[in-house]
């Protein structure tokens, strides 16, 4: 009975993190670089990263998929399946790397290392994802995508960097609630 109660509480907390993520996207979205206005910063990954640190990397990936699907079908519907796929890939890489590193030794140092390496991994993976997936969905030739690649790479570093810093600052303050 107690185990079922614990699982239900964890599920409810994860659902709350998804809801916060969606609300954040509704309230905060803006282009970082005017030249590529379709690349919009949003803080959706902050609750997902917090959930990853609290509940582990598998929970982080689950939060990523659920959030990406809901976001992609509601507040970011204009980006369609392309946006959902790209969000899942980018955020899943970030939370997997950060979560796996943090899970091994839960300290400030491992959180920083995990978030930094997660940001780097996300940036590298999104370089290749944009080369393969973007032409399929947009019809843009690879040469045109490669011209945008400096913006795409910098966007991923900035977005993941901001979200990682905010997560690092907030996590220990929110952690007691999530572990209650």
CATH of the domain at 57: 1.10.1760.20
- Give domain status of residue 38, yes or no: no
Q: Which residues contact 88 (CB under 8 A, 6 or more apart)?
A: 64, 65, 68
pLDDT in the model for residue 1: 58
- Give domain status of residue 32, yes or no: no
Work out the average pLDDT over 28-38: 90
Q: Which residues pair with 41 in a beta bridge?
A: 30
Is 40 strand, coil or helix? Answer: strand
**How many residues are there in the chain?**
180
Q: What's the token pair of residue 156?
A: 């991923």
Task: Report whether pLDDT(2) > 80.
Answer: no
Model pTM score: 0.94
Per-residue pLDDT tens digits for 50-87: 999 999 999 999 999 999 999 999 988 888 999 999 99
Q: Is 40 exposed, middle or buried (0-12, 13-18, 19+ CB in 10 A)?
A: middle
Within 13 Å and on the Cβ side, how many CA atoms surround 46?
24
- Give domain status of residue 99, yes or no: yes
- Give me the domain span that covers residue 152: 2-27+43-178
80: left (phi over 0), alpha (psi -120 to 50) or beta: left
- Give domain status of residue 73, yes or no: yes
Task: Report whether pLDDT(98) > 70.
Answer: yes
Q: Which of 124, 117, 141 is nearest to 57 (CA)?
A: 117
- Give domain status of residue 34, yes or no: no
Rounded to the nearest 10°, the torsion over CA 10, 16, 20, 22 is: 100
Q: How far apart are CA 174 and CA 106, in angstroms?
A: 15
Please count the structural domains in the chain.
1
Contact of 29 with 74, CB cutoff 8 Å: no
**Percentage of residues of the chain with pLDDT beyond 70:** 99
């Amino acid at each position: 009975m107690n185990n079922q109660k614990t699982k239900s509480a964890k599920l409810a907390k994860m659902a709350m993190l998804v809801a916060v993520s969606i609300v954040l996207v509704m309230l905060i979205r803006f282009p970082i670089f005017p030249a590529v206005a379709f690349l919009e910063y949003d803080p959706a990954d902050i609750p997902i990263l917090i959930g990853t640190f609290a509940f582990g990397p598998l929970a982080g990936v689950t939060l990523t998929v659920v959030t990406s699907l809901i976001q992609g079908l509601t507040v970011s519907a204009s980006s369609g399946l392309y946006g959902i796929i790209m969000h899942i890939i980018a955020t899943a890489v970030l939370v997997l790397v950060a979560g796996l590193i943090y899970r091994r030794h839960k300290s400030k140092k491992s959180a920083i290392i995990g978030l930094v390496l997660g940001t780097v991994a996300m940036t590298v993976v999104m370089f290749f994802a944009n080369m393969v997936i973007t032409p399929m969905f947009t019809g843009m030739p690879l040469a045109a995508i490669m011209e945008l690649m400096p913006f795409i790479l910098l966007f991923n570093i900035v977005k993941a960097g901001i979200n990682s810093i905010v997560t690092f600052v907030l996590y220990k303050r929110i952690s007691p609630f999530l572990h209650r």
